[in-house]
Amino acid sequence: MARERKFSREELYLETKELLLQHGYEGYTFTLLANQLDISRAAIYKYYDNKEELLSEYMLYELTNFLNELKKVSKEKTFSNQFHALFEFIFSDMSLYHLRDIGLQIPKVNKKVAENKKKISKIIVELYTSLQHFIDLGRSEKILREDIPTSLIIGMIFQTVNIPNTEKIPHDDWVKKIKDVICHGIFTE
């Protein structure tokens, strides 16, 4: 029994993502967001007290989605299948690793933000556990090396996503090459 909303939460999150990647944490403003969504700035304050609150909630949403996708991946039976599935989905949205850095910058300006940050930490732990299982599987199948720290293996996978494809190699080729290098290195045998 009220007026129809001019913007959905999803739309708001979508624009937020764009603006965050474009302007970074400090460059992201409600003024900018309101313009993009074609609403008045004050409307946003009906839902969020400040940008920290909005952003911590957005990060929570983004990470929750990510965790769900990751859980899908872990349904694959073999390590090899999980590995390829993981790449497929990481490369479908390459911005996540960058967004994580931004998430770390959010200061706890109030109780709600502090709570969200706590929830985010919890999700990150879950993410890490899930990835740990993935790595363990690879090791138990004697595919992954035992002498490389887990955090390094995970880091390699997530960082390489961000290597700029300056030579404009077709996406599928590019992904294949990156996988290859991660698995076998840049040296000849």
Partner DNA sequence: CTTGAAAGTTACACTAGTGTCAATTATTAT
Partner DNA sequence: ATAATAATTGACACTAGTGTAACTTTCAAG
Q: Determine whether 131 is exposed, middle or buried from the number of CB atoms within 10 Å of its CB (0-12, 13-18, 19+).
A: buried
CB of 101 to a second copy, least distance (A): 9
CB of 143 to a second copy, least distance (A): 6
Residue with smaller CB distance to a second copy, 3 or 149: 149
Number of residues that bind DNA (CB under 7 A): 21
Residues within window 37-76 making contact with DNA, judged by CB under 7 A: 39-43, 45-46, 49-51
CA dist., res. 84 & res. 81, Å (int): 5
Contact residues for a second copy, defined by CB under 8 A: 23-27, 142-145, 147-153, 155-156, 159-160, 162-167, 169, 174, 177-178, 180-189
* CA Rg value for the chain: 19
In contact, 64 and 123? CB cutoff 8 Å? yes
Residue with smaller CB distance to DNA, 7 or 134: 7
Select from 31-39, 63-71, 158-166, 171-179 the region that touches DNA (CB under 7 A). Answer: 31-39
CA dist., res. 182 & res. 105, Å (int): 29
Residue with smaller CB distance to a second copy, 43 or 127: 127
CB of 103 to a second copy, least distance (A): 14
Q: What are residue 129's phi and psi, to 5 degrees? A: -60, -45
CB of 78 to a second copy, least distance (A): 14
Cα 114–117–122 angle (5° rounding)?
130
Q: Determine whether 64 is exposed, middle or buried from the number of CB atoms within 10 Å of its CB (0-12, 13-18, 19+).
A: middle
Residue with smaller CB distance to DNA, 49 or 88: 49
Select from 34-42, 58-66, 150-158, 160-168 the region that touches DNA (CB under 7 A). Answer: 34-42
Neighbours of 179 (CB within 10 A): 16
- Residues of this chain that interact with DNA (CB under 7 A) are 1-7, 29-32, 39-43, 45-46, 49-51
